[in-house]
Structure 1
Amino acid sequence: MSERKAINKYYPADYDPSKALRKKKNPNASNQTIKIRMMAPYSMRCLKCNEYIAERRSFNARKETTSERYLNIKIIRFYITCPGCNNTITFKTNPAEAGYTPEEGAVRNFESKKGKRKREETDDELFKRLESEQAKDQEYQILKNKRKSNPFWTSKDDSTRDVMEKFEKRLVEQQKQQLLTQELESIQRQVEAVRAKGGDEALVDLVKTKIDTKKEKLKEEEEEEEEEEEEEEEEEEIKEVKETQRQVGHDDSKINGNSSSPLLPPPLPVKEVKNMLMKRQIRIPSKILAKKKESQLTSSKFDYSSDSE
């Protein structure tokens, strides 16, 4: 078949291409349909028989170029038939969103989550937008220069704002920043001084000594609190023992009938007091017992006439 392919053609000497016959173009050629083989661009459902048509299923389709345009791009319509009921399904190309839009006979199973593309601006709209942005920028620059020259200046539109409040807030923020910078500078000086002496090891030792001193202080405070609690407990125990002694002496005076005698009754021996307190479940410190022994020795020197009678 290669000999049939003409590489070079013969043109006679008197050949005039303007006089050559040309084929007439069909005026309806643009609207003519062309048979093609294509696949479904998206999954769809037939409205007549509810047949599910999956994406990328192949069909014998018809292609037709429409008179519609988008930015001088042709919009093409496709015709396919439903495999279940032979219903005609049509859809068009959508160059604005780089996809397809269904027309008749079927519906999309789901819509894509991609946001729709914004409509492109025309030249007039673009010029208007740029002019408005430029005017706003100029106004902002004028206001900025006025505020630099006079911090108390406000525009007529900002009548609701209080200038003094803004000024006070600025001063407070500036003071905070100054304090922070001073603290940072002092810390940097300390670090540099420590590094000059011994480097990072000296820093670690300094931190350890600070931690140890804090721990020692906490221990001392805890010990002092424990000692205070022990002293309070001892005082309470002494008070309870004294109250028991008074009650015992009062009961003895009632029994003997000498409640009006000026002399106090002799204190009880240590063993009896211990037994009484054990019954009442009261602890006696050793200091109180020693005091009781001394009081017994001193009381033996006195003569009690009421007891001798």
Structure 2
Amino acid sequence: MYSRYQKKKKEKFVDKKKKKKVFSSSSMSERKAINKWYPPDYDPSKVPKRKKNASSTIKIRMMAPYSMRCLKCDEYIGARRSFNARKEITNEKYLNIKIIRFYISCPGCNNTITFKTDPKNAGYTPEEGAVRNYEKTTKKESEDDLLARLEKEEQEDKKYQLLKSKRKNNPFWNEQTVGMENLEKRLQEQHKQQLLNEQLEAIQTKASIDKDKLEEKAREKLQVKINRPTTKHRLPIPTTIKLPKKPKLVNYSSDSD
């Protein structure tokens, strides 16, 4: 049995838990419509297919291709401003390239603004709802400018042809080209020889280092052998030397007398 205070405390704890719901992976998968029920008499061939409308629009996210001004509220729309737009493929074509129409709404007054792609000039042309702030201006050549440009190009071409003919007839030019080729070949050969010499030097230095290391190792081994004490059994040297006793000499002359 709980007291009143304990019951209230328990209720509060339950309420807090209810607020903070933790969804497990199983509950999330149950929400998704993965497993669908099909009746036993279901025939997919009898289901009518949805016809695609050619003039249907597609929702896209895009940026304004140029700076424009709304005709309804005079709102300034800068270039590269992002919009939720609708894309529509028109029946118009230029050199078999489809022309696409875009619909955007003005952020100030919700006015619909439309513009189309212009594949001829590699840009966009405004249609309704807004006007370009800056029109593209291409410098038009006058007849005099065109004639002057053509004359200049013709003179440059003539100069080039003259130089070409002079080079063909001039023997020094051919000799010079041959000399340049010979120089290039010599340089390449010298470079190869230098690389070979460097490789040989590297091999020689490596061999000399290895030889020095081997000599050092041999010297160390000899030194170790010299310094190592001999393990042969030596007899102990006595402190006192015992000499053998001399035999006594007997005098036989006294006995005979």
**Smaller-chain TM-score bracket:** 0.3 to 0.5
- TM-score, normalised to structure 2, is 0.35
- TM-score, normalised to structure 1, is 0.29
Greater helix share, structure number: 1
Instruction: With a CA cutoff of 8 Å and minimum separation of 6, indicate the structure with the bigger relative contact order.
Output: 2
